[in-house]
Every structure is written in structure tokens, then in C-alpha cells.
Amino acid sequence: MLGTLTELTSVALQQGAPAIPPDSGLAIGVGLAVGLAAYGAGVAERGIGAAAVGAIAEDSMGLGTALVLTVLPETLVLLALVVAFVA
């Protein structure tokens, strides 16, 4: 493993250019922003979805309210995608 890393380092140094282009930071940041927003929405939706299904089964909540509460965390991902395309 260490030998492979040494070979990759020597190839990158022979090129005379940086191994990671300087303008790739924006792409990495956008990818992290959208990915973490989607992960957070998934974690939030897990609990909300389970509670909404339980409430519908007990007839204490309407289907429309449960649907709105379930879809609400997904707006976070949509906002992250808008920011990604604007950036």
C-alpha cells in the first residue's frame, strides 16, 4: 500500500501540476452540501414517516396532513439543489 502511494506521489510530482485542480473545491463543497442535506432529510423523514403511519392507522391524523409532514424534510434537499445550481 505504501509503495503504491509513493508511486502515485512521484507521478503527480512529475506532471508539474497540482494533483487536485484549484477550481475543484467548489464541486467538492456543492457535493458535500447536497449529500449532507439529503442524509439529514432522510434521517428526519424516518421518524416522521413512522409517526405518520402510526397516526393514520389510529385515525388520529388525516392522510393529507401526514403527507405534508412526510414531504416537508424533502424541501431541504430541494433548497440544497437550488443552491448547488446557483453556486
Judge contact between 74 and 41, C-beta under 8 A: yes
* pLDDT of res. 27: 86
Q: Cα separation of 17 and 55, whole Å?
A: 59
In which band, very low, low, confident or very high, does the pLDDT at 22 lie, cut at 50, 70 and 90? Answer: confident
Grid cell, residue 80, equals 440544497
Rg from Cα positions in the chain = 22
Predicted TM-score of the model (pTM): 0.66
Local structure of 18: helix, strand or coil: coil
Give me the residue spans of the domains in the chain: 45-87
70: nearest Cα among 37, 33, 42, 34: 42
Question: Helix axis angle, 25-57 relative to 74-86, nearest 10°?
Answer: 160
Q: Which of 4-8, 11-15, 28-32 has the largest mean confidence? A: 28-32
Check residues 23 and 46 and name the one with the higher pLDDT: 46
